[in-house]
Structure 1
Amino acid sequence: MTTQKMPNTDLAGWLDRSGISRKELARRVKTAAQACGQPHITPDATTVRRWLDGDHPRPPVPEILADVFSACAGYRVTTYDLGFGESAAAERSLDYNSSFATTVEAVADLGRADVDRRKFLAAAPFAAVAAVGPSRDWLLNTLDQQPEPGPRVRLEDVTAVKNMFGEFQRMDVLQGGGSGRLILAKYMNAHVFPLLRRTYTDEVHKALCEAAAEQTYLLGWMAYDSGEHGTAQRYLIQSLRLAEESKNAALGAHVLAGMADQATLLGNPTEGRRLAQTGRAGLGRNTSAACLADLWALEARALAKLGEKTEAARAVTQSEAAYSRVRLADEQEWAAFIDPAYLHGEHANTFRDLGQAQTAEVHARQSIDHARKQRRARRGAMSQAALAVSHLQRRDLESAHAAGIRTLSLSRQVKSSRCVEAVQDLQRRMEPFGNHRLIADFNERARDLMTAA
């Protein structure tokens, strides 16, 4: 018994909305297929009729159709919108594509799926080796892609986008990545990605790609802070490609710092170190002392995980030396969070992993003091957790318990999976102390936070 095909009313609706004929749609699909190296895709008006009747074309035709209709509409249309189900956006967004136009469509697909909370994206895995190609290409390539035709973008449009970045970054720093990510993704889908498809002067093109890279990075960082590492990785790769297009070396190095942080966190410190080193190699002299300080700090974190005590301590020293050269007026807005609260917190974790409890405590307390003054609960929580571990390493349960309670209090103030993970790590480190009353009390108090997470 054969299953009767159902007409594709979604595709028909978009064809009517676009105002183009079946023959013209076939021509545009053929042209787009040739441009992306698929010359064997040669549809005609009859092929389009079969699609409308319910035939499901083989990949990558649905993705090409989505790109064609997106160009007509001026905003992202997905394979899902066209009645063809989910696309391979999760995999396409792992690619560091030499084509700027393809990059725009990949990041737009990703943003649309993120807003719609598609199941395939939530389940997207972190690919351990996916950063190898992007980091290499960012360092070596100089690309000259031309934008798609359309209404011209002005510098005033780019300024409006950059002004919004500061607001979203402050939301992330003060409230955690879980607070504003979907709002930012909706803003990007509605106001930023459509601009990337238009024409502009070279100056505007670079400025727009820089602004888009900043906000795409922030989306990735917010996903990272929410524990969605597969989604985060895909945003970061596309952000790196946009940063290259902007010719902003410091921004690209900043994105690599985020990728290094993620790789080390997920158990691949060798890759984390390599990414941090690549960022430093591409940064250039006197470009961003804050970014350099961050890259050294993250290399130190990776080295500590690898047990390289001398090299890790040297990297911390290099980070501190770089930060001493920071001039805030010369730094870009995305570097605002690279400050003593952040850096001392990272150094505390480095020395914690090296088992140097006293040095870890010194850095943790400095981070906590700065975070308190800035009302940064997330940073304060993670540094309180590092302080608690330093007390555990010296078997001071009273002090560890007190710092642990402060960790819980601060963690409840933000939506951040990293704070939850810091609490879970603290609980694991408390296990060797058995059923001591302070350990039992901490675990009881942590139960509500764990349940909510």
Structure 2
Amino acid sequence: MKKPNTKLAEWLTRSGMSHGELARRVRVQAKERGHAHVAPDATSVRRWLNGERPRPPVPGVLADVLSAAVGYRVTTYDLSWGDSEFDRALVYNASFAATVEAVADLGRADVDRRTFLTAAPFTALAGIGPSRDWLLSTLDQQPVPGPRVRLEDVSAVRNMFGFFQEMDIFQGGGSGRLTLAAYVNAHVFPLLRRTHTERVRRALCEAAAEQTYLLGWMAYDDGEQGTAQRYLIQSLRLAEESRNPALGAHVLAGMADQATLLGHPAEGRRLAQAGRAGLAGSASPACLADLWALEARASARLGDRRAAAAAVARSESAFEGVRPGEEPEWAAFIDVAYLHGEHAHTFRDLDQPGHAAEHAHRSIAHARKQNRARRGALSQAALAASHLQRDDLEAAHAAGLRTLSLARKVKSSRAVEAVQDLRTRMKPFGRHRLVADFEERARALTAA
């Protein structure tokens, strides 16, 4: 027997609408979104109140109608319908208003740490549509009416970005992410619903895209891949609204990195290539260098040695065009330590330990100067792997211990995964004392 939906009843009472009026508004809203087949009536509302769950897209539309009526964000979760709003964060919506609500719902769920969010799977093909639509750059809606936003409001948002990005770079994605999510929910997403001049609107969308991307990147580094993917898709949509092709290409770089890491290098390469196509003529050599580096990593995973080596060369060539102070703030991490660390992993995957070690050493040296423990840990792991490829267990053990030491300093699942990868790579050496020693030391970290 179905249980009455008391939460829906409560929100309907707060809205002051009758069953018939709620049904009418849902029909109008659905039609505006291209769902003319959605035609509920008062009887439909009574069935929902009695416990029947409507089919998509009705839950999301209904939540938006109630939100507009009560002046407070109501989600499908609040209506006892679970994670419908979370699923729509995988959609690259042509509607700007729908995008704002999707990313706001996602942020709220993230702060609340709902179980469906942390367990959400990564969907490899979800990036196909967003990358295509971003390239086509189809725009359609303006923000809803409300208090006008000023450039000063946007500047305040921009000033916070550098603080949180630095926290991620030096402490890992697991440090400060929920604080950023709370800040964005309270101070950034609400601004998107207000009115703006076109200049302010673009600046605000750019700032919101940057911070939404950072939330995705931090979730990615924290091992919550489904959450990360949803943030990145919505960041890409906001970047489109900002009319900043370099920022959109940067978001696609993050999506490419994630896809390759999770075992989908063909999709990773395609996303990196889409980013390069959209970046043409833009003034961000750092972003271009990053996209080539990520294409190289994906090509290496695919076993395409020639394409991987060529992409590394193109990455290094693009990086030569970087001018300090002329790159956007979000590109701050794309430096010698980062790029050579990526190249080290590319050559590791190509089974070219000499080249891998060369790039790893360069990355490690710069990361040490900057006190970047996460980047140092990842590059030390690549160096250790290159030693194992040359059967130098002693050198690999030493680099592995340095990896462990640095991984303990940050909250980063990628650093932990690098340690786990080394454990796997050492198994062919059997019960050697150095393998046993590293296994014992690593077990404590990976368990934690």
Structure 1 residue 357: deviation in Å?
1.2
Which residue of 74, 77, 85 corresponds with 1:77?
Answer: 74
Kindly provide the amino acid, as one letter, of the partner of residue 155 in structure 1. L
Which residue of 268, 287, 293 corresponds with 1:291?
Answer: 287
The ranges of structure 1 where at least 4 consecutive aligned residues each deviate by more than 6 angstroms after the TM superposition are none
Structure 1 residue 407: deviation in Å?
0.4
Name the stretch that deviates more: 281-290 or 413-422: 281-290
Deviation per CA, 1:113-151: give whole Å up to 9, x if none. 222222222222111111111111111233132221222
Kindly provide the amino acid, as one letter, of the partner of residue 148 in structure 1. V
Contact 1:391 1:400 in 2 (8 A): yes
Contact 1:75 1:193 in 2 (8 A): no
Contact 2:76 2:84 in 1 (8 A): no
Which residue of 108, 119, 136 corresponds with 1:123?
Answer: 119
Aligned CA distance change for structure 1 residues 153 and 33 (closer, same or farther; 3 Å): same
Structure 1 residue 38: deviation in Å?
2.8
* Alpha-carbon separation, structure 1, partners of 2:270 and 2:38: 40
Aligned CA distance change for structure 1 residues 348 and 100 (closer, same or farther; 3 Å): same
Structure 2 counterparts to residues 17-56 of structure 1, below 5 A = 17-18=14-15, 24-43=21-40, 48=45, 51=48, 56=53
Partner of 2:60: 63
Aligned CA distance change for structure 1 residues 7 and 288 (closer, same or farther; 3 Å): closer
Contact 1:221 1:232 in 2 (8 A): yes
Which residue of 397, 400, 403 corresponds with 1:401?
Answer: 397
Contact 1:90 1:124 in 2 (8 A): no
Q: Which runs of 5+ in 1 are unaligned?
A: none
Q: CA RMSD in A?
A: 2.0
Partner of 1:413: 409
Kindly provide the amino acid, as one letter, of the partner of residue 39 in structure 1. A
Which residue of 202, 209, 212 corresponds with 1:213?
Answer: 209
Q: Secondary structure at the match of 1:77?
A: coil
Contact 2:337 2:363 in 1 (8 A): yes
Q: Secondary structure at the match of 1:124?
A: coil
- Percentage identity across aligned positions? 73
Q: Normalising by structure 2, what TM-score?
A: 0.94
* Alpha-carbon separation, structure 2, partners of 1:61 and 1:144: 22
Structure 1 residue 186: deviation in Å?
1.4
Contact 1:76 1:194 in 2 (8 A): no
Structure 1 residue 42: deviation in Å?
4.3
Structure 1 residue 18: deviation in Å?
4.4
Partner of 1:164: 160
Structure 2 counterparts to residues 185-224 of structure 1, below 5 A = 185-224=181-220
Contact 2:172 2:411 in 1 (8 A): yes
Structure 1 residue 331: deviation in Å?
0.9
Partner of 2:273: 277
Q: Does residue 1:424 correspond to 2:420, yes or no? A: yes
Partner of 1:352: 348
Which residue of 306, 310, 317 corresponds with 1:321?
Answer: 317
Kindly provide the amino acid, as one letter, of the partner of residue 388 in structure 1. A
Structure 1 residue 172: deviation in Å?
0.8
Partner of 1:446: 442
* Alpha-carbon separation, structure 1, partners of 2:183 and 2:14: 24
Q: Normalising by structure 1, what TM-score?
A: 0.93
Aligned CA distance change for structure 1 residues 23 and 408 (closer, same or farther; 3 Å): same
Matched pairs, number: 448
Kindly provide the amino acid, as one letter, of the partner of residue 11 in structure 1. L
Partner of 2:250: 254
